[in-house]
Structure 1
Amino acid sequence: MSLATEFERLSLPLEHEFGISRGSSATAENVVVRVTDGDHTGVGAAAPAAHYGETPATVEAVLPDLLAAVERVGDPANHQRLAAAMADVVRDNPAARAAVDIACCDLAAKRADMRLYRYWGLDPASAPETSFTIGLDDTERMRAKTRDAVAVGYGTLKVKLGTSRDREIVAAVREAAPDATLRVDANEAWTPREAVANTAWLADHGVEFVEQPVPAENPDGMRFVREHGALPVAADESCVTLADVSEVAEIADIANVKLMKCGGPSEARRLIHAARAGGLDVMLGCMVSTNAAIAAAAHLAPLVDYADLDGSLLLADDPYEGVPMPEGRIALDAVERPGTGARLAE
């Protein structure tokens, strides 16, 4: 089989500036990949994060080698051979590899004339609803964003924390969303003792769990929060690759798996199963990105307990359509096209 490949960089404005404890951004830089066999085209995208050592420039630098490897293999359904071929030319750069893997999964499912979750044998009714993220901002703006999210039907909210105003922020969000399920994400901003103290008052506000309360470089601190805190602990920055799962099982309750951290949906499935074997619950997360990436993650949602797949919902205008998520429901049963369902918006 002969395959042709190409890629392009997209700069995508956000609906609102998106803030976390490490900083904020007004745009998302993605790189879209296309793999075609002449009859069908698979689409994927990279959403690189500098925190994990990737930028749009590094993605663009390694994609020619990755895509050349895909062309040599020539079979988008042979995920084992594709993974080996890509590993021969690029060892790191997980977001770049994820874009290629997504495109190949999309193309393989299209060639089989199946929606991707069906191609993987998954039950769409098992997908949890996605949370909607309230990024760090002025407290009153966070209150307003919360009201807007509740007004359009989101019942699960993830609140970014890691400031001197954390109590004020959570109180404002809870006042604006008295019936919502709340989760919080500190993005490594607290010390272990701060985190334990914070979980006490967060529990009083009905928060479900706390994500990455302390730096990933401090696994003993994560373990301390898990053992002494009042809430379950989710590991994000601590859970990057398959090799991290065994340690995460000792220091957290929930593993946050992201395609852009591990290298794509093929590897994400391995992480999910390993986390399950280690006794962890699993959350499927994402970066801020186009549906060309998010749609593939949505098809994995039936495998997990929690979903945080709002990356495209935070964009001002996504050039790609994907899996519908009305009021947070990951509506895989509404996908009418084979593959991931991602395509250029009409």
Structure 2
Amino acid sequence: MTLTAAFERVSLPLAHPFGISRGTQTTAENVVVRVSDGERTGVGAAAPSTYYGETAATVEAVLPDLLDACEAVDDPHNLDGIDARLDAVVGDNPAAKAAVRIACCDLAAKRLDVPLYRLFGLDPGETITSSYTVGIDETDVMRERAEEAVDAGYAVLKTKVGTDRDEEILEAVRGAAPDARVRVDANAAWTPREAVEMSEVLAAYDVEFLEQPVSPANPDDLRYVYERSAVPIAADESCVTLPDVPRVADACDVVNVKLMKCGGPRQAVEMIHAARAHGLEVMLGCMIETNAAIAAACHLAPLLDYADLDGSLLLAEDPYEGVPLPDGRIDLSGVDAPGTGARAR
């Protein structure tokens, strides 16, 4: 067997401008990776974030070395060997590594003719519902987006905040979705005191939890909020890779794990188990990604308490199909093909 690999950059327009406290985007730059054994092809993708020091250009720059390393191992089932070789040839660059590792996991599962969740020994019946994200925009637009999401069947909303009108936004979203479960993500926009004060407002609007209220620069800030907050706290930017889990264990209730932050599906599983060992709940999140990436994350749903895997739903059009998400429910029983279920349309 000889493995061969290739990649291509894709620019994906969003259905609507997507705003968070750090800015607004209208397109998502992903890099799709394919690893083939000559008969089957595994597909993955990188969705890099400049916040974590990656761009589509940096992904393209390191992928030749990563794919050469993958080809050198020449066995998609030797996932330990591939992981070690990737880490040896390129430092950091988690989204680029995630793309290669997703493709290898997809190929390994296809060679065994099983869906990816079986490769990880998971029960497809133990699944959950993903949230649907309402990005920062004019308040009336956010109200409309929330109404549209509820009308489309989504029962869990994640609202981005970090503006000078956050309470107005909460009132609008909650008014549009009175029966939905609502989560809030500040993307590190608040000071610790602002976060504590806002937590009282969030509690009044029956918010399920508050994600990353403060900058990750000072770990004590997150702990300060956690100890005083009126709602549970989730760590995202403060919890990037496995060593971060014990560091935030006494400063949050939930950790948000992302394949693009930690470097791949197996790395995400390690973080999930570490979080459980520290008594934390777990959410699996995403960037704005094609299903070539998100489909793999969906297969980890049986391990989760919460999911925020709507990245492909925010695209105007995804070139790949993935795991079905009827009304946001991650339907692993609907995966009718081996591997991740990601297939070109």
- Provide TM-score, normalisation by structure 1: 0.99
1:64 and 1:91 map into 2 onto residues whose CA distance is: 14
Matched letter for residue 177 of structure 1: A
Number of the residue aligned with 1:236: 236
Matched letter for residue 326 of structure 2: P
Number of the residue aligned with 2:102: 102
* Matching of residues 206-217 of structure 1 within 5 Å: 206-217=206-217
Number of the residue aligned with 2:249: 249
* Matching of residues 45-56 of structure 1 within 5 Å: 45-56=45-56
- CA deviations 1:33-66 (Å, max 9, x no partner) are 0000011100000000000000000000000000
* Matching of residues 292-331 of structure 1 within 5 Å: 292-331=292-331
1:303 and 1:283 map into 2 onto residues whose CA distance is: 9
1:328 and 1:293 map into 2 onto residues whose CA distance is: 17
Matched letter for residue 285 of structure 1: G
Number of the residue aligned with 1:138: 138
Number of the residue aligned with 2:278: 278
* Matching of residues 75-114 of structure 1 within 5 Å: 75-114=75-114
1:202 and 1:92 map into 2 onto residues whose CA distance is: 36
Deviation of residue 323 (structure 1)? Answer: 0.3
- 1:203 is paired with a residue whose SS is helix
- CA deviations 1:268-302 (Å, max 9, x no partner) are 11011011101110000000010000000000111
Deviation of residue 113 (structure 1)? Answer: 0.2
Number of the residue aligned with 1:268: 268
Number of the residue aligned with 2:64: 64
Number of the residue aligned with 1:148: 148
Matched letter for residue 84 of structure 2: A
How well do the aligned residues superpose, as a CA RMSD in angstroms?
0.5
Deviation of residue 248 (structure 1)? Answer: 1.1
Q: How many residues align?
A: 345
- 1:163 is paired with a residue whose SS is coil
- 2:314 is paired with a residue whose SS is coil
Number of the residue aligned with 2:196: 196
Matched letter for residue 158 of structure 1: K
- CA deviations 1:200-240 (Å, max 9, x no partner) are 11101110000000001121111011111101100000000
Deviation of residue 157 (structure 1)? Answer: 0.2
1:152 and 1:56 map into 2 onto residues whose CA distance is: 32
Q: Would you say 1:126 and 2:132 are equivalent positions?
A: no
2:252 and 2:179 map into 1 onto residues whose CA distance is: 27
2:81 and 2:154 map into 1 onto residues whose CA distance is: 41
Deviation of residue 121 (structure 1)? Answer: 1.0
- CA deviations 1:168-207 (Å, max 9, x no partner) are 0000000000000000000000011110110111101110
2:118 and 2:226 map into 1 onto residues whose CA distance is: 37
Matched letter for residue 55 of structure 1: T
Q: Unpaired segments of 5 or more residues in structure 1?
A: none
Q: Unpaired segments of 5 or more residues in structure 2?
A: none
Matched letter for residue 178 of structure 2: P
The alignment-based identity, stated in percent, is: 66
2:126 and 2:219 map into 1 onto residues whose CA distance is: 32
Runs of 4 or more above 2 Å deviation: none
Q: Would you say 1:2 and 2:2 are equivalent positions?
A: yes
1:268 and 1:33 map into 2 onto residues whose CA distance is: 19
Number of the residue aligned with 1:23: 23
